[in-house]
Amino acid sequence: MVPLLVVLLLALLLFGAGFALKALWWIAVIVLAVWLIGFLVRPTVGGRRGRWYRW
């Protein structure tokens, strides 16, 4: 009975980790797209092209 519970618990952990990693990949792709768009379409500040970020 205990080995079956351990296997089921391991399957649940791996399923949860896989879902979290897939979600993190999508978030990373969205952040990269926003960064690229912001880098390519920089605002014009005072007649010259400025930075769209603060760092």
At 44 the pLDDT is 59
Query: pLDDT per position in the chain (55 positions), as tens?
Result: 888 888 888 888 888 888 888 888 899 999 999 888 877 776 655 556 666 555 5
For residue 48, give both structure tokens.
Answer: 């010259």
At 47 the pLDDT is 58
At 46 the pLDDT is 58
At 7 the pLDDT is 87
CA–CA separation, 48 and 33 (whole Å): 24
Phi-psi region of 46 (alpha: psi -120 to 50; beta: other; left: phi over 0): left
List of residues 6+ apart from 35 with CB closer than 8 A:
none
